[in-house]
Structure 1
Amino acid sequence: MILASMDTGGIISPSGEIFVNCGSQKTFHISANEGYEVADVNINDVSAGPLTTYSFENITKNQQTIQASFKLKQLTITILMQGNGNGNLSEQTQILSYGANLTVKATPDDKSKFIGWGGDASGSSDAILENITSNKTIIATFEPKDIPTVSLQLHKQGNGTIRINNQDVMLPFSQEFELDKTITVSAQSLDGWQFTFWSGSITDSEQSIEIQMNNDKTITANFVEIPPEILSLRISEIIGPGHIYVNETVCEAVPCSYSFVSGSDIQILAEPSHLFESFTGDIFSNESPFSFILNENTAIKATFENNMTCPQWDFVIDSAMIINYSDLGAFADHWLLTDDEPNWNPDFNLSLIPDPETRKQIINYRDLSIFADHWLESSPCFE
């Protein structure tokens, strides 16, 4: 004997106590009612899954069982949003049992409006689904409200930038904003420039201002150039036989003063280099040339060695030029005269001290003629 039973939601056929012959075969059919589906079939208290038929083959055992169970169908309700607006839905996509009811509310945000439902729902109020018997898809459409706008135009005079709500904008700038929206506009000056004031629809000297866009506005940020700072460089003293060049300009007579824009590149050069010892004062260096950036008023002293002795026959004309007697060679005696000779002319005397033995001196430099420049040299000596 086979006992066939079922719970609510479907039938098993045949059902009840079914008597069969030993060694025979018996088939049972399981079907669900509308809105239900087979949940499971138990054979002799062992699950066989959601079968729709089952056959006992070569029956030799008495007192066997087959039991069918059923469940409501599960349906998918897909809930979507579309459009260029934004809003909230009271329900999201979900699974419901067959025959269930569902109400979905659509709420737009303050910048949007709800247009209506589409798909398996319609209308512009709540979507109400009753006695759901199949999968459904409902779509809520939101679009932006028709919000009035006003324009903002930004310009500049001078060198600087403008930011709106901390975002850089390209100038000239023009954009529409919602009516009565509040924005922050700020001006940033570039190097060497300074922000002064806003002009146009708004006059203000604050670098950052808040603007309520209650009408069209045109605003200009005004910048002025900052005059460069002028600094002085002074060669205050030169100790010893030498000259100083500042950016290739010689200091003719100390003290020498120069004016430069702050931040200028400066090079100071000492000549002759082999006698140079150091730069002191507001800077210190024993290198020549020496380069630096002028960031403040600066005074410099240069020191040269001063322990040289002029050769016996080097006659100093001035601090820069000498005549080297030894180089005159065979011509030397032609210009060596004493002060008691007829050709003596003190106006052309080049030596202040005569030779102690001969009392002769080099005179008449003018008479050296084409040979003169050959014996003019830079002198490390001073009389």
Structure 2
Amino acid sequence: MKLKSLILFCLIFFSSSVAVYAEMADAVYRRLDLPIIGDNAHAGLIYHYDNEAETRYVIHSAGGSFGSPNSVRTGDWEAFLEGELYLGKRTKRNPSYTIRKLIIEEAIDQIGANYWAQNPWAQWNEPNSSPQSGDGYFRCDGLVEYCYEQAGINPCDNNTSLYWGGPVYQFNQFSTAIQTTPEQVVMSFPDSVDSNTPTVAHRTEITLKANARDTHSDLSYRSPYIFHYAQYVNGGWSDWSEIGRSEDSMPFTIPEKNTLYAFCVTAVDNDGNAQNSVSYYLKHAQTFTFFVRSSGTAGVPIDSQDSDFTGATDYFIGDVESGTRVTLTAPLNQKETQFSHWEGCDETSGTDCTFTVTADKNVVVHYTVPKYNLSVASAGVSGVEINSLPSNSSGITDYVVSDISAGTSITLSAPENHDNKEFSHWTGCDTASQTDCNIAMTSNRTATVHYNDAPSEYQLSVNALGASNVQITSSPHGFGGITDYEKTHIAAGTRIALTAPLTTTGMPFLNWSGCDEISGKTCSVAMSSDKRVTVSYGHILKPPVSPLPANGAENISVTQNLEWINGGGADSFDIYFGTIPPPGESEFRIKQSDLKFPVKNLAYNTTYYWRVDAVNSNGTATGTVWEFTTQPEPVYLSGDFNKDFIVNEQDLEELRRHWLQSEDHNNWSEKYNLDRVADPRTGKQIINYRDLAVFADNWLKTNE
């Protein structure tokens, strides 16, 4: 069944809303009454047509009193007519779109110009000095004439005749304007013009697309396309319904699925002229939704041969046409999990899931955390006890630990000796450090610990620290000696006890180191490898005590001796002193054996921090950080030249030596100028009786 006439509908639509058609840059005229004589008519230029608002705009010099500002303006059609009778539209040589555009661009530049000035009469078509500067003058017909002339067209050959003849004269010099309509009005979606083979839509949300051109005025500058649709229901087509006006695309929601629709588009140019497309057909096919979910992990990226079906779980795809065949592909690994299987597919192959959409469908991809086995073996020996972190991977070689979660990190630790054999190395580890083997479980793994035959003889070294030539006795006999000494070719497994004297050369015994066991002055070793032991002598080293100034003391002199008492065992002392707490390496001052450290020229009213470390041949005992605060800066009376807080004869002697010296004297010193009044005769500062008066006043104060 054929559609109802879209062409009739569109023609009725436009003829009912737009009464006058004219091309862009056509000259249009209206008059006051008949007959037309003189300047009782008005002229303007068609600017453009707003299809969305169904409004035409005109650029014209609107008039008013002579010289009225802002006469050249843009107005809608009603503002141009002002209720008067429309005379007609005119042009010359039927200009192309390019020429028409030049005419309008020139008219836009003249916006803001004044109405013409009668005196001098030449100011009736004088342009703005710059675009829209507002300093030009135009009569309505003068504006039309000027804009055409700038585009290379001269409507009136005689401007004097135009000046006196006015718009009516110009109207008669023009030709009747020829109208054009948009061309090649088509739709690119849907694109089928056969209702038997309509374009198929799989979704209810679609976008209609159109295209057209106009060779004279171009398409309407706003919403040049009007989209319509009709629906085939109950064996016939519905009336056309307008969807809306827009640019070259229009979103549309299909009201009913599995239904045939017809669409057409009307293109409107900048003159308000319209042209319709043919009818285009679209059918919405039966559609379904499928859901893709995951188990064991989340956010699995799913690929597909159709990019519309890809996504990250969990997601769904709607409006899928019935009968569509879908193949989804999951990754083999996702985060720390591994692909297991698909569920809900028609068929599967590896990580692929394939199904045909005949109804709403759910498919699930399953992932599991893989489990691996760890085998721990030994070479060169058997039955080696292996410790591990975590502890559940420990055992006695050879053994296997099963069901270890992927990504688990394990450290295996082997003993240094086993069955009279020595540890050699690990194999099969990611990294190894001494007797440790580190493994990350990313697959089934095997680690092997290797042992070699142990040597039959070892060496024993005995040394002393803090003393020399120490006599060491042994059990069994034969392993003693005077330090430092070595014993070689000792049979493996031999147990030796070494005993040191309580004192040597006046130095007391401190301790043993490097032994398997220690009991008092006795060191015991089992010769399973080369051994090195050390006996230490010396006084027990303690940090200094009893600081002077006392810790936290205040009002301390800026010249001071820092003193302390040896806490015991120190041969020398490292002194740290400064204003930064606690004093560090940058505050180190000296290493000395004295119990006193002088400081001077300290800053007034400042806290100082100091530390004394005790040092001997056995090491260092770090001292306590002590602190004290210096005295406030003293205030001296005028005349106390030697700053002993007493103004007396000693200060008087200094004042005498500078008596009557002026400021240009070689030995002049501001220090003795106690009174700041200049000599009235010379205008200079001088040490005289005025300074003596100040001195005497303070003498009395300090001796009261």
Q: Which has the higher helix share?
A: 2
Indicate the structure whose relative CO is greater, using CA pairs within 8 Å and at least 6 residues apart. Answer: 1
Q: What is the TM-score when the length of structure 2 is the normalising length?
A: 0.28
Q: Which has the higher strand share?
A: 1
Q: What is the TM-score when the length of structure 1 is the normalising length?
A: 0.46
